[in-house]
A and B are shown apart, each in its own frame.
Chain A
Amino acid sequence: MIGTLIKAEWYKLKHHHIYAILIIGPLLTLLIGMLNPMMGDMGAYHPWLSLFLFMNLPYALLFLPLITGVIACIICRYEHQAGGWKQWATLPVTRTQIYVSKLILIALLVLIIQMIYGLVIFIAGTVKGFDVVFPYWTVGKFIIGGWLATFPMIALQLWAAMHWRSFAVAFTINVVFTLPSILAINSERFGPFYPWAQPFFAMYVDESMSGMLFIPISQMLLVTGGSFIVFLVLGIATFKQKAI
């Protein structure tokens, strides 16, 4: 059932220029990373890793958390417009299924963004003629890690987008939680516990980390997993109670 629902959700995105939103972040951060004056000062340092260093910061710290909110708003917008919630709720599906299918679709779209990001990096480096082999393993690790780390944001933003018609409210909530990450990543004590800073940590290439991801699995489970479950339960519970 969930599979069908996700397909239906995807179908509803027809005529929406979602592709532009999927591609804009990777291209923009590539521009920012490439133009960074410090890029030229890296000298003999691993060219891929220096590119990651300058691109991943704006991308994972700010773009990724913020774009989850935009996608959530798009996925909910057409339901708010003309009684979509009402119609969807009279179908022989549970509200939890409706909610989860939307959640999964957002997660899939974020995964597509992540893959485009990987591709953009690959093309940029190849065109520039980096003389070192593309570090597939590293890129794969931060693409997946960064993706998983956005799950709490996806859950919270879906809740907000579903609850308020106005984009501005959901976006404000998103901004209020995302901005402190700028400080949080500088703190060794608090940073690792701040959910919104997790995409950054998961995409911060640290060659000394030999594990599955660039953050300890325990941190991923505790901070990302924990906050994801809280927001998911909050979202499903409100959606179930929602008078449509």
Chain B
Amino acid sequence: MMTYIVQTTNLTKQFDKYAAVTNVDLKIKEGEIYGFLGPNGAGKSTTIRMLLGLMKPTRGQVTIFNQDLHKHRQTILRQVGSLVENPSYYPHLTAKENLEVLRMVLDVPKARIMEVLEMVRLTHVANKKVKGFSLGMKQRLGIAQALLHQPRLLILDEPTNGLDPEGIIEIRQLIKKLAEQGITIIISSHLLSEIDQIATTIGIIAKGKLIYQDSISAMHALAKNRLGIRTNDVNQTQQIIGGEVEGDVVYCTKYNNRQVATYIAQLVTANIDVYRVEEEKHSLEAIFLQMIEEAEHK
């Protein structure tokens, strides 16, 4: 039997009449970078809040480290670091003091504070009050807070929000480095490109429902390319090379260089005018948008 580090079954959250999350079954394996993708308002944050016990599910179960979150919340949270939506901080305290407050409760060695500040490159402002920080610095402090107690599982909700491009790259590298150390990471985003560059597994949520969950390579496999051939005679073209007709273009999905050459030779021999031969890349983005659209029309 496969064991998962995070598993939810039928996770549902109902706000009055509005269902924010419906029957979500997350399955996250140890060591993965799990990209949790969905448009704004799809239920990402609500799901993450339930994973952390910030919100109680209306129905369903959350199991983390093979323990029921409801029953073993404290033992579980001891090994979980999180950054939920906007970073949390005490504006009147310095970066170091903010971490010190957490350190007391989490009971980790003092030296760890400078370590995590170093990791997120905030050492130079360690003694500055957080209220003067830029959004990006606050975000990085939030990540430092999440890392303080060396968690086994790291949950980052939109961690690159408000960061400049350089900051985004830094965070991405940091996440990859942490994953190499064996930490399981859940990272949510509404940007596919963000997730695509970093995640090993992807879960897509739309309208509160998990509509896709598989490895990132499986998602790439979905993104099949096809060859479009436009000629002066669609029907004859189809008879010769097979494939499907869409308007005045014939599409075929199985092709290699050799075959393409043969097709063109055959068409030319049959006296058909070939106008265009082009490869149409079905991007990941398009697939994602299509999935979302389908979910929304259901």
Within the complex, the shortest CB–CB distance from A5 to chain B, in Å, comes to 6
- Expressed in whole angstroms, the minimum distance between the Cβ of B74 and any Cβ of chain A is 4
Contacting pair B101 A243 (CB below 8 A): no
Q: Do A7 and B84 touch across chains, with their CB atoms under 8 A apart?
A: no
Q: Are A8 and B105 in contact (CB under 8 A)?
A: yes
B21 CB → nearest A CB, Å: 13
Chain B minimum-CB-distance residue to A93? B105
Stretch at the interface among B75-83, B223-231, B283-291: B75-83
* Interface stretch (choices B85-93, B161-169, B240-248): B85-93
Is the beta-carbon distance between B145 and A87 smaller than 8 angstroms?
Answer: yes
The answer for the CA separation of A16 and B97 in the assembled complex, in Å, is: 13
Which residues from B are CB-within-8-Å of A244? 49, 54-55
Q: Which of A11, A87, A89, A92 contacts B97 (CB 8 A)?
A: A11
B178-200 interface with A by 8 A CB criterion: none
**CB-defined contacts of A94 to chain B, threshold 8 Å:** 73-74
Is A84's CB within 8 Å of the partner chain B? yes
Of chain A, the residue at the smallest CB distance from B82 is A90
B100 at the interface (CB under 8 A from A): yes
B90 near A82 with CB under 8 A, answer yes
Cβ–Cβ contact B93 & A12, under 8 A: yes
The digit string for A100-114, where 1 denotes a CB below 8 A from any CB of B, is 000000000000000
A7 CA to B101 CA in the complex, in Å? 9
Q: How far is the CA of A219 from the CA of B207 in the complex (A)?
A: 57
In the docked arrangement, what's the CA distance between A72 and B90, Å? 17
Q: Are A90 and B54 in contact (CB under 8 A)?
A: yes
A209 at the B interface (CB under 8 A): no
Q: A14-B97, A82-B86, A243-B55 are known contacts. Are A4 and B92 too (CB-CB below 8 A)? A: no
Residue in A closest to B93 when the chains form the complex, CB atoms: A14
| Closest CB in chain B relative to A118 CB, distance in Å | 31
Interface flag for B106 (CB, 8 Å): yes
Check B104 for interface membership: any CB of A closer than 8 A.
Answer: yes
Identify which of B73, B90, B104, B107 gathers the most chain A CB atoms within 10 Å of its CB: B90
Q: Give chain B nearest CB distance to A134 CB in angstroms.
A: 39
Q: Is the CB of B86 within 8 A of A83?
A: yes
A7 to B105 alpha-carbon distance, docked (Å): 9
Complex Cα distance, B149 from A93, in Å, reads 14
- Cα separation A84 to B86 with both chains bound (whole Å): 11
Asked if B54 and A92 make an inter-chain contact with CB atoms under 8 angstroms apart, the answer reads no
Tell me the complex Cα distance, A94–B93, Å. 24
Given the known interface contacts A11-B101, A78-B91, the answer about A92 and B86 at a Cβ–Cβ threshold of 8 Å is: no
Query: B295 at interface (Cβ–Cβ under 8 A)?
Result: no
> Which residues from 13 to 41 on chain A have a C-beta closer than 8 Å to any C-beta of chain B?
14-16
CB–CB A86/B88 < 8 A: yes
B52 at the interface (CB under 8 A from A): yes
Q: Which of A11, A84, A93, A243 contacts B88 (CB 8 A)?
A: A84
CB contacts under 8 Å to B, within A183-203, are none
Residue of A78, A81, A86, A92 ringed by the most chain B CB atoms within 10 A: A92
User: Quick one: which of B33-76 are within 8 Å of A by CB?
Assistant: 49, 52-55, 73-76
Query: Using a CB–CB distance below 8 Å, which chain A residues touch chain B?
Result: 4-5, 7-8, 11-12, 14-16, 78, 81-84, 86-87, 89-94, 243-244
The 5 closest A-B pairs by CB, nearest first: A83-B88, A87-B88, A92-B77, A92-B78, A8-B104
- Between A and B, 8 residue pairs with Cβ closer than 8 Å are A14-B92, A14-B93, A82-B86, A84-B88, A84-B90, A89-B54, A90-B77, A92-B106
- Please give 13 more A-B residue pairs, beta carbons under 8 A apart, in addition to A90-B53, A93-B105, A244-B55: A4-B104, A7-B104, A8-B104, A11-B101, A12-B90, A14-B92, A78-B92, A82-B87, A82-B88, A83-B86, A86-B84, A90-B80, A92-B74
